[in-house]
Structure 1
């Protein structure tokens, strides 16, 4: 069920039939999953002391769990992870993303099962457990499952036993992990999380030296800068799935859905953003853009910093803290990726989302789309821009172009039909609907920029797509990895900002990472920086873009698999970096470790 093809080649050269591989090669993990299921069943039986109820309910829950993983794999190419359990609060919207026939089938099975359980419990009563046996199992089973909190500790007993049996977490590719270990064991593999490996030389003294070093760098940078963040209005606009379909090999649209943005990119700071995800990973791109920290430096057991890291730390440095006021706007549910808690810990003053006390004022949908439009997002953002008395930071995350793309949401989508051979019906229909959404984004951006250009306050918009939609399944990612991880970005400063020091950037901006946006924005707005932002500036100017393995669609990778992309869009190896570049990369990792997993010496010194 975790495979999308009849053959699989997980880290081996030869391809296996999925049944041969599962039963013949991974039989030990099949047994492990069976034991996990039996322990789960035994726990419910000990809790209820009703055999038929326990057996049927446990089996149904297990089937639902497997099917839910299969659905997510079809959408995101990865199984369910522990970090996503926080999204259960938004169960209504999650169900809205599932095909109706699946929900109907689940409800039907539940309705049919209830009288069957009642009949079996009445007709075929089996002996019940003794009270002391029940108590013993209710203690033993949680103790067994609690051992997974040490599963990734290299010297722990559970780690040694697990590895000996054949458990292979494969954190750099969660889908392969689910295929090797089953979705349940892979879920358990991700519970014991290490944030980041400690870089060599990390100490209080070393961090003080680094801070002193980059204070001097900041002083040099600031000699030529005239503005301050406290006087600027800056918008970081994550545009859901925004990316040019024409960039994808084999895809050529009959009409251009983004003529305005394409023209605008020729006139202002712009280029290609290398995304660490494909088909998903929105919150990770958002995290990188707001903090300037790189996902590839984290441990492979930390696929989602928002839910696994930020919500557990009091100190979370980010760009919003440099402004007198910070506002977040997301015209959708606020619980996804724990954004309500994340924004609090980031220091945002207000978060506007559906159901919040700070209301989404404008609400417009397009045709049959269930999502609020980008026009809606920009109108709400414009209100905040107009209300800003001094400097303000706005984090705007749109929702209009979110999946699914096969529901025929828009009218006249055939205007953007992909032409060419070998395009299947699903891809053709999905690309048409997605591209139609892009055309509405293009129009909304044009209108928004025309409005901020009329304001007598400095406004800078950092616009970027977070990842490509997962609709190009026929394109070989091992061959076209860079293209499938390339989205569009631009930075636009309004007329007033340009008259007061803002300037377009023309060098080393063709390829950037989301963690570069703080430095790029500071440079474009001509704003002074602190030591932390000075280091980010050095990274943006002097290092190639760091990202995860572009040949994978997964959201995380081994630390040693960090990939570098130069300003020509070519992959370069770490060993080819100069001595100064390697030292800068080590400084950057020390800063990231200190701010996310270390003692916060940088802050406290």
Structure 2
């Protein structure tokens, strides 16, 4: 319908013709222009991942390219809908992709692990501890800052240049954002078609037990999507049959462990988790004890061996969690940081078990209380008192961090205080924390000890920094053990390294005696006592870090309930049979999964029950 204005100025389009014209504009030329722009996003996203992802540098199958490019394509469409600017969407998404791959490269270098969905949990840790994490970027921090400034300038310029160019109308933009955002969310959740598109059949190189190899085989973005889709299944269904069978076959030993009587004298127990401690003797042309003679001397007087830990270069809390709970992290392969998931609630840990026997439980860690979420988690793990960096004001430093000497002196001073209760103390050192190619104050030329030969310039830098603190920490350990074990009270000391340091250049220069990769090498542990250790205890045992709780309870003669009794029996049987660890690892994993799924109340008959006492647990297998 056409109406004539009263002033005679000409026809005015009204009614359905106005709507018709708008729809023609929207779904005609406008959509054609938008389609052309959107079609550019596909090749750009493919080129982006092929350029940035080392896994896609060699000739690869198209199926990997589009699976890695798709997340960036959807991000570009979301940005295009949000801002309505084509070039700006390309610039921002490209910068975002570059940052993601650079951060992944830094994590791989320092931890031999890729970015994982669980890293999102650390975002607040990054913002609250930016200075600490900046140490790991080195010169890259300045480069990142310069690039950030350039990126802001480029973004502003593109925004200004593009402000007069064609922009889709608001209805189109809402549609773009809605569709692309829905696709992104369902993609990472694995809903519908996406689950099949990123299935194990579509990505045959996916291995949830080895995320670093998965990324190198399938590409970073495709692996992140696959890991995100698998995330709701982080607590897998266990094979209860093998655990039940093991419990039935070993019933007498399990009952014996659970019915132990408390010894007349309960020992003080001191656990030292030494940051990045390992003996360089595992490297070629380096002797054991060459740089840690006190550890080697002390270890020969107690129980010792290699220690397999669940992390490399960093991620201390993974080893820490294993030694506190006895749960192997490998049983939960998609949980990267247990203090942000598994340890959220009450758990039957070593300190909690000891507290039930009358122990006072204390933690000493000369660093920030909020780091790794320890401040919130440690009370739930059974520590009555925790002491962090504010308890070490004015303490001696060795380089960037509180020295091992100062930490050990604080622990000894605490033990000297009168107490009617036996004590369980865990000390987590910081002195030899990475990175190992820069430091606020170098400790000196290794106190007369020469560097290994055959090192590159970068390898020399890494080994100089690392070994200077290793030598200093070893002297502190020798003095600490001497004073601690000279006490008249029965005292047990457990000392272990949490992971190997990420000495990438030095490890590449020298290699290892067994020619394995750094992430497959082991740290060391030792258990000492100022009372005779039972003669039936082997003196040389290679363990996993999750074996340490059972070994400690065995040496101290303390009763062991449900899961801990199972774990100890598995360790003992493995040692007696000199068996390969594979079958026992699977037993351990399934028992741990059962324990967690049972809310930490594992029945030795294979079910879930509230184990109110050791006697109740023993009845479960009768």
Change (3 A) 1:98 1:215: closer
SS at match of 1:270: strand
Q: Compared with structure 1, are the counterparts of its residues 328 and 34 closer, same or farther at alpha carbon in structure 2 (3 Å cutoff)? A: same
Structure 1 counterpart of 2:178: 139
Aligned residue runs from structure 1 range 200-349, under 5 A: 200-201=239-240, 216-219=255-258, 222=260, 226-227=263-264, 231-252=266-287, 256-296=290-330, 298-311=331-344, 314-324=345-355, 325-349=360-384
User: Corresponding residue for 2:214?
Assistant: 177
Q: Which residue of 2 aligns with 1:416?
A: 449
Give the drift of 1:398: 1.3
Q: 2:580 aligns with which of 572, 578, 599?
A: 572
Q: Report the CA distance between 1:245 and its aligned residue.
A: 0.6
Q: Per-residue displacement from partner, 1:435-477 (whole Å, max 9, x unpaired)?
A: 2211111121122223324545443221001222232124269
- Whole-Å Cα distance in 2 between the matches of residues 303 and 448 of structure 1? 33
> Within 5 Å, which residues of 2 pair with 1:504-519?
506-507=537-538, 509-519=540-550
1:491 correspondence with 2:527: yes
| Greater mean alpha carbon deviation, residues 201-210 or residues 281-290 | 201-210
Higher mean C-alpha displacement, 463-472 vs 335-344: 335-344
Q: What secondary structure, in the 3-state scheme, does the structure 2 residue paired with 1:264 have?
A: helix
Identify the match of residue 459 of structure 1 among 465, 469, 491.
491
Task: Determine the C-alpha separation between the residues in 2 that align with 1:62 and 1:477.
Answer: 39
Aligned residue number for residue 102 of structure 2: 67
Q: Residues 572 and 117 of structure 1: is their aligned pair in 2 closer, same or farther, counting only changes over 3 Å?
A: closer
Write the mapping of 1:431-442 to structure 2, written as runs, cut at 5 A: 431-442=463-474
* Cα distance in 2 for residues equivalent to 1:211 and 1:185: 45
Task: Confirm or deny: 8 A CA contact 1:275 1:514 kept in the other structure.
Answer: yes
Aligned: 1:158 with 2:194: yes
Question: Match for residue 533 of structure 1?
Answer: 564
Aligned partner of residue 273 in structure 2, secondary structure: strand
Higher normalized helix content (fraction of residues): 2
Q: Whole-Å Cα distance in 1 between the matches of residues 206 and 287 of structure 2? A: 39
1:195–1:302 CA contact under 8 A, matched in 2: yes
Deviations 1:160-195 (A, max 9, x none): 112365474333332232223332332333223333
Shift of 1:148: 4.6
User: What are the ranges of 5 or more consecutive residues in structure 1 without an aligned counterpart?
Assistant: 1-17, 546-565, 575-581
How many Å apart are 1:382 and its aligned residue?
A: 2.9
Quick one: distance in 1 between partners of 2:308 and 2:319?
10
Distance, in Å, in 2 between the alignment partners of 1:450 and 1:47 is: 66
Which of the two has higher C-alpha Rg? 2
Quick check: 1:38 aligned with 2:73? Answer: yes
Aligned-residue offset at 1:604:
1.3
Asked if the contact 2:198–2:225 (Cα under 8 Å) also holds between the matched residues in 1, the reply is: no
Q: Find the aligned partners of 1:469 and 1:401 in 2 and give their Cα distance.
A: 9
Retained in 1: the 8 A contact 2:272–2:427?
Answer: yes
Give the secondary-structure state (helix, strand or coil) at the position aligned to 1:346: coil
- The offset of 1:236, in angstroms, is 1.9
Question: How does the TM-score come out when normalised to structure 1?
Answer: 0.77
Per chain length, whose mean CA-contact separation is higher, i.e. which structure has more relative contact order (CA < 8 Å, sep 6+)?
1
The answer to whether the Cα contact below 8 Å between 1:268 and 1:505 also exists between their aligned partners in 2 is: no
